[in-house]
């Protein structure tokens, strides 16, 4: 995942449309006049005052003056003064009805990061509450020891930690991101893609979880427009072509339904419901359907006063038009995790056209539009406070589950997995509703109930029938966990069964507590095996100081703690070997299929600071992408690339001829690598080896078999592989074969 929580000033901009001058040029020529910052602030002040007529808005005015002073002379690529960005973010919050303190913080949210004013200055002038909100939104300082991805994962982690203390942090961040997405077009295409992808992965799902549908829809449509511009334009054109017909159809449907509701004594407001493009496109993709087959392109929203009127209106709709099977959802009886409530149905309506109808009360509609923001807009009364607590229960659970996750990237992936995937809703035997990610198992459910229930689980019943623990839960399942009263604990295999990061973490913690000594031994063995298999080296050769350095990078103070973490699965052995310099992180993410071979092996390596040099690879050590390498300047034959631990290089006296080299980011060739496999000889051994190599789409270019008198077979084979990671996968598969004793690289 690539993350970039905030667009820097020099990369932001407004839309550039074909055939039009960029906004900056139009401003310079006087062809466009934009509202002044002062007029924008007046509009902001009026919006906040409409929701909070008794509030003291003087701090907002002082914040505007300070931000204007701090950002003086700073501009966006569009040519607008930079102050327009924080004012726009604050305006988005104000329209949601967020309180004046958060709006004040939104005006100031870029001041500590981009100007000479420090966070302490804001605390002194505006108080600790505003300063805390600004700090939660501000990015972490950049550390050179972190990669871009790790640093941005830390930013996301910090935001979640801050929003657990005050949810307004993420509301400010959503407003900030929404305005950046509205003005994304002047960025280079690569940055547009990265930011739009992150918006779809993190921010749009977060807005949905908080129930702020208006923000979610706009973020998704803007991301869709950036990532799939042709499909976006095509779908928009198709909808626009049908717009007049669609409006006429909706008008006829409303005119047909309204008198039927009145005849049943139901007072209702009926409106056509706009459908955002991304959701239509997603449904078309999911169902492999054309636009005409998507039922909710045409939609009506029915707003009534009481809950009983919702069900009465549903009866009228179904008596008037034939319901489409499997297209009914009752989110009133079973609200979504963000407390969204509504009845959804699809019917064959006027002229046999499919039509989606949403039915809800006016109060439900208010909450559905602004989600968690309703806590501030309708704050009076204990009911709003109770709903606010319910809305944030999921966040408190997540932060509790993730407390022991030390790696920021793992934290973010866990949040994405637990919160932002499709949900299934299941029931306890007492009728309580639990929501879990799609694909969750009874074990996930058991750990959601209580950690001890998970640890003592020995079986599960779904709808009164016994099921295996890897059963995938479905909406509406009634789940009963069978537990034992005696001493019991999880199995290591459960880590491959559970889906939620919460359950995985609890299982790991159990092994961490129960089997520390065993984990230390297991962790050492795992690292030894990976080092021996990939580089014919071991922990002793690497050295304790280097291992301890890596351990501290993972926030472990002692080697035993670190080995134990590897042993119980919190840290992957191959991940550690990567950091030691044996395998590159990017290569671990390669697909299992090797890229097509190219006829030349001259590319793939770059000499730092030098270009156009002949590159050869040392035949003594056969380096491949991911290996730590060094170059040797030959006389008249360019640079020869060797492994850093190659004996030829280690004994080289002319050290001045050694030069730093590095692998290109995306090598597109294969490399002949020799491996040696030791096994007990048996019939079919070679056939099994060949099958595994073929399944991995790897070629065997040479093979030799020798069988000793004790019936031990030694197989030497040369494989054409694309990277260390691909080689590791093949060797791991071979190691699992029946009667195989060991598999390792053959460095001669």
**3-class secondary-structure state, position 356:** strand
Tokens of 99: 């309180």
Q: In the beta sheet, which residues pair with residue 717?
A: 675, 703
- 329's CB contacts (< 8 A; 6+ apart) are 343, 344, 345
Burial 516-542 (b: 16+ CB within 10 A, else e): beebbebbbebbebbbbbbbebebeeb
Tokens 């100007």 belong to which residue? 115
**3-class secondary-structure state, position 598:** coil
Q: Are 307 and 363 in contact (CB under 8 A)?
A: no
Among residues 25, 113, 121, 678, the one annotated as catalytic is 113
Pairing of strands 658-659, 433-437: unpaired
Alpha helices in 228-276 (DSSP H): 229-241, 243-263
Between CA 687 and CA 696, with CA 690 as vertex, the angle to 5 degrees is 145
Is 114 an annotated catalytic residue? Answer: yes
Residue of 611, 662, 615 whose CA lies nearest to 634: 615
Q: In the beta sheet, which residues pair with residue 326?
A: none
> What element of type H or E holds 188?
none
Distance CA 219, CA 232 (A): 14
Tokens 């989110």 belong to which residue? 331
Is 735 an annotated catalytic residue? Answer: no
The alpha carbon torsion through 309, 311, 314, 316 (nearest 10 deg) reads -60
| HEC sequence for 693-744 | HHHCCCEEEEEEEEECCCCEEEEEEEEEECCHHHHHHHHHHHHCCCCEEEEE
CA distances from residue 345 to 311, 364, 385, 423 in whole angstroms, order as listed: 11, 17, 31, 19
**3-class secondary-structure state, position 448:** helix
Q: In the beta sheet, which residues pair with residue 360?
A: 303
Distance CA 475, CA 485 (A): 30
- 543's CB contacts (< 8 A; 6+ apart) are none
DSSP 654-682: -GGGEE-EEE-SS----EEEEEEEEEE--
The residue ranges of DSSP E strands in 518-644, in sequence order, are 605-607, 615-617, 629-633, 639-643
Residue of 238, 226, 310 whose CA lies nearest to 267: 310
Tokens of 135: 């700090």
**What size, in residues, is the chain?**
748
Q: Are 479 and 428 in contact (CB under 8 A)?
A: yes
Among residues 95, 114, 329, 525, the one annotated as catalytic is 114
> Would you give the DSSP letter of residue 653?
S
Burial class of residue 494 in the structure, from the number of CB atoms within 10 Å of its CB (0-12 exposed, 13-18 middle, 19+ buried): buried
Tokens of 666: 């995306």
Between CA 203 and CA 419, with CA 227 as vertex, the angle to 5 degrees is 25
| Residue 111 dihedral angles phi and psi, to the nearest 5° | -65, -50
CA distances from residue 155 to 136, 240, 406, 414 in whole angstroms, order as listed: 10, 40, 14, 15
As a whole number of Å, the end-to-end CA separation of the chain is 39
- 581's CB contacts (< 8 A; 6+ apart) are 628, 644
Name the region of 360 (left: φ>0; alpha: ψ -120 to 50; beta: rest): beta
Residues annotated as catalytic (active site), given as ranges: 113-114
């Amino acid at each position: 995942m690539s993350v970039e929580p905030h667009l820097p000033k020099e990369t932001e901009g407004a839309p550039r449309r074909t055939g039009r001058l960029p906004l900056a040029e139009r401003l310079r020529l006087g062809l466009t006049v934009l509202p002044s910052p002062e007029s924008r602030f007046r509009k902001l002040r009026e919006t906040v005052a409409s929701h909070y007529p008794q509030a003291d808005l003087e701090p907002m005015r002082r914040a505007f003056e300070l931000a204007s002073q701090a950002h003086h002379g700073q501009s966006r690529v569009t040519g607008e003064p930079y102050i327009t960005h924080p004012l726009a973010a604050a305006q988005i919050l104000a329209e949601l009805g967020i309180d004046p303190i958060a709006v004040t913080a939104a005006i100031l949210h870029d001041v500590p990061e981009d100007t000479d004013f420090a966070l302490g200055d804001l605390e002194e002038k505006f108080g600790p509450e505003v300063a805390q909100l600004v700090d939660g939104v501000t990015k972490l300082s950049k550390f050179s020891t972190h990669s871009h991805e790790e640093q941005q994962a830390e930013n996301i982690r910090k935001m979640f930690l801050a929003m657990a203390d005050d949810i307004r942090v993420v509301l400010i961040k959503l407003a900030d991101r929404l305005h950046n997405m509205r003005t994304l077009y002047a960025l280079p295409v690569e940055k547009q893609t990265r930011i739009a992808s992150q918006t779809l992965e993190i921010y749009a799902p977060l807005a949905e979880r908080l129930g702020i549908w208006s923000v979610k829809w706009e973020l998704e449509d803007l991301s869709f427009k950036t990532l799939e511009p042709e499909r976006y334009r095509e779908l928009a054109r198709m909808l626009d072509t049908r717009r007049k017909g669609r409006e006429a159809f909706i008008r006829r449907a409303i005119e047909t339904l309204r008198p039927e509701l009145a005849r049943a004594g139901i007072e209702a407001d009926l409106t056509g419901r706009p459908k955002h493009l991304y959701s239509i496109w997603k449904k078309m993709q999911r169902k492999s359907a054309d636009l005409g087959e998507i039922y909710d392109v045409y939609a009506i929203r029915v707003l009534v006063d009481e809950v009983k009127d919702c069900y009465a209106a549903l009866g009228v709709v179904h008596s008037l038009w034939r319901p489409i099977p499997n297209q009914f959802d009752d989110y009133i009886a079973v609200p979504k995790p963000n407390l969204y409530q509504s009845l959804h149905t699809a019917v064959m309506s006027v002229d046999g056209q499919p039509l989606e109808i949403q039915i809800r009360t006016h109060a439900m509609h208010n909450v559905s539009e602004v989600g968690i923001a309703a806590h501030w807009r309708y704050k009076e009364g204990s009911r709003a406070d109770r709903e606010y607590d319910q809305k944030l229960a999921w966040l408190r659970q997540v932060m509790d589950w993730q407390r022991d996750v030390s790696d920021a990237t793992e934290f973010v992936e866990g949040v994405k997995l637990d919160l932002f995937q499709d949900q299934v809703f299941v029931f306890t035997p007492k009728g309580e509703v639990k929501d879990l990610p799609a694909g969750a198992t009874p074990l996930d459910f058991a750990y959601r109930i209580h950690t001890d229930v998970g640890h003592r689980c020995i079986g599960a019943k779904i709808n009164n029938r016994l099921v295996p623990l890897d059963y995938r839960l479905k909406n509406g399942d009634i789940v009963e966990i069978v537990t034992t009263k005696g001493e019991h604990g999880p199995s290591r295999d459960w880590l491959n069964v559970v889906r939620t990061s919460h359950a995985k973490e609890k299982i790991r913690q159990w092994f961490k507590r129960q089997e520390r000594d065993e984990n230390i031994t297991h962790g050492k063995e795992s690292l030894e095996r990976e080092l021996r298999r990939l580089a014919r080296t071991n922990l002793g050769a690497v050295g304790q100081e280097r291992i301890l350095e890596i351990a501290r990078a993972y926030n472990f103070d002692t080697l035993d703690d670190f080995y134990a973490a590897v042993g119980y699965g919190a840290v992957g052995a191959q991940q550690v070997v990567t950091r030691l310099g044996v395998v590159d992180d990017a290569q671990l993410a390669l697909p299992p299929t090797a890229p097509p071979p190219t006829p030349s092996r001259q590319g793939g390596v770059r000499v730092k600071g030098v270009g156009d040099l002949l590159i050869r690879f040392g035949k003594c050590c056969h380096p491949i992408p991911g290996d730590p390498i060094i170059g040797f300047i030959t006389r008249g034959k360019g640079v020869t690339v060797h492994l850093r631990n190659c004996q030829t290089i280690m004994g080289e006296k002319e050290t001045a001829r050694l030069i730093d080299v590095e692998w290109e980011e995306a090598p597109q060739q294969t490399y002949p690598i020799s491996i040696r496999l030791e096994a007990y000889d048996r019939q079919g051994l070679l056939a099994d080896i060949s099958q595994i190599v073929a399944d991995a789409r790897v070629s065997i270019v040479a093979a030799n078999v020798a069988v000793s008198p004790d019936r031990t077979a030694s197989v030497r084979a040369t494989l054409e592989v694309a990277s260390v990671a691909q080689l590791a996968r093949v060797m791991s598969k071979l190691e699992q074969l029946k009667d195989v004793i060991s598999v390792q690289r053959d460095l001669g």
